[in-house]
Structure 1
C-alpha cells in the first residue's frame, strides 16, 4: 500500500494515480451513488480540479483504492470559489445554501471534497487504514501550505470516525438529504493537525510524493 500526496500542478508526475482517482470517482459517485455529475464515460473531473488543489490518494498493488481532494477557501478562478460557497451562491443545483454558520474566505481553511473508497479492496486486517491515510495526507499537504482547519460536507458517520483517528471535530448544525443517493449530509470542520497520524503517513508515503511536497513548500515560501 502506498500514499501519494501531490498538487494539481504535479499531477503529470502521478499520471496513473491521478487517472485512477478520477476513474474511481466516476465508479463510486456516478455509477453506484447515482449522482448527476458530468463525466466522459470513464473519468469524473470537475471545476475544482484546478491549480491550487492537492490530492491524497492510496493505492494497493498499483490500483487506486481511496482518495480525496482539498483546496484553499481563498482560491478562485474568477467564477468558481469552493463547493460550499458556490452552493450558497446558487451555482450548484442540488446542494442548498446555509450549511455553514459562516463561509471562510482565507487560506487558513481548506475544503475537502470527492472522498471515495473501493470498499471491496479494503484492508480487513487494519480497518479504516485507507481513510486514515487519505486524511493524514491532506493534513500534511494543506498544513504545509498554510491551513489550520479542514472542512468537508460528508455523510454523518465520517465525523465520529475522524474523532477515533484523533482529530478535533466541530459539526455544523444544518443538514440536508441528497436526492440522488438518499443519504443525509452535514458539514464539519476539523483542526488541521500535522502531528496526528503522521507516523503512519510517513510510513506509506511514496518517494515521489516526498519530492513533490518539498517542491510545493519551496514554491509557497
Structure 2
C-alpha cells in the first residue's frame, strides 16, 4: 500500500492513477451514495477538479483504496471558488448556506479538503490503516503547500477518528443531515502537527 499526491504537474508520472481515482470517486459517490454528480467515461468530476487542486490517493497495484481532494481557498474558476464557500454563497443546492459558524475564509494558508472517501471494497480489516494513511498524506501535502489549516465537510463522527489520528480538529459549523448522513464542517489545525 502506498500514498501519492497528484497534481496536474505530475499526473504523467503516475499512469492511470488519476483516472482510477476519478473512477473510484464515481463508484463511491454516484453508485454507492446515489449522488447526482457529473460523470464522463466512468469517472466522477466537478467544477473543483482544476489545476489548482491536488488529489491524495491511497492505492495498491493501481487499485484505489481511498482518496481526498485538496483545494486552495484562494482559487476561483468562473463563479466558483471552493465547495464550502460556494455552498455558503448559495451556489450549491445540495448543501445548506448556513453550514459555517462564520464567513468562509479565503487565505493562502487555508486549504479545503473534499471528496473524501474510502472505497466500498476496501477490506474492513485494513480500513483504519487506509484511513490513517489518507489523513497522514493529506496533512503532509497540505503543509508542503503552505497550509496551516484544512477546512472540510465530513461525517459528524469526526471526533472519534480525530482523536485516534491525533488531529487538532474543531467544529466550524452545525451538524447537518445530508444524503442520509450527519455531516459537519471541521477545521484541522496543522501547526500542532509540525515536528
TM-score by length of 2: 0.91
Structure 1 residue 112 displacement after superposition: 0.2
Structure-2 separation of matches of 1:120 and 1:127: 10
Equivalent residue, structure 2, for 1:205? none
Report which of the two has the higher share of helix. Answer: 1
Gaps of 5+ in 1: 199-221
Gaps of 5+ in 2: none
Structure-1 separation of matches of 2:7 and 2:171: 27
Q: How many residues are treated as equivalent by the alignment?
A: 194
RMSD between superposed Cα atoms in Å: 1.9
Structure 1 residue 138 displacement after superposition: 1.5
Equivalent residue, structure 1, for 2:81? 81
Q: Does 2:52 correspond to 1:19?
A: no
Equivalent residue, structure 2, for 1:66? 66
Structure 1 residue 121 displacement after superposition: 2.3
SS at match of 1:190: strand
Structure 1 residue 123 displacement after superposition: 6.2
Equivalent residue, structure 2, for 1:202? none
Structure-2 separation of matches of 1:83 and 1:159: 22
Structure 1 residue 53 displacement after superposition: 0.8
Structure 1 residue 127 displacement after superposition: 4.7
Equivalent residue, structure 1, for 2:108? 107
Equivalent residue, structure 1, for 2:119? 118
Higher relative contact order (CA 8 A, sep 6+): 1
The answer as to whether partners of 2:22 and 2:45 remain within 8 angstroms in 1 is yes
Structure-2 separation of matches of 1:9 and 1:145: 14
Q: Does 2:157 correspond to 1:157?
A: yes
SS at match of 1:85: helix
Structure-1 separation of matches of 2:22 and 2:16: 10
**CA 1:163–1:194 in 2, change beyond 3 Å: closer, same or farther?**
same
Q: How does 1:160-171 map to 2 (within 5 A)?
A: 160-171=160-171
Q: How does 1:174-189 map to 2 (within 5 A)?
A: 174-178=174-178, 181-189=179-187
TM-score by length of 1: 0.81
Q: Does 2:188 correspond to 1:190?
A: yes
Report which of the two has the higher share of strand. Answer: 2
Structure 1 residue 149 displacement after superposition: 0.4
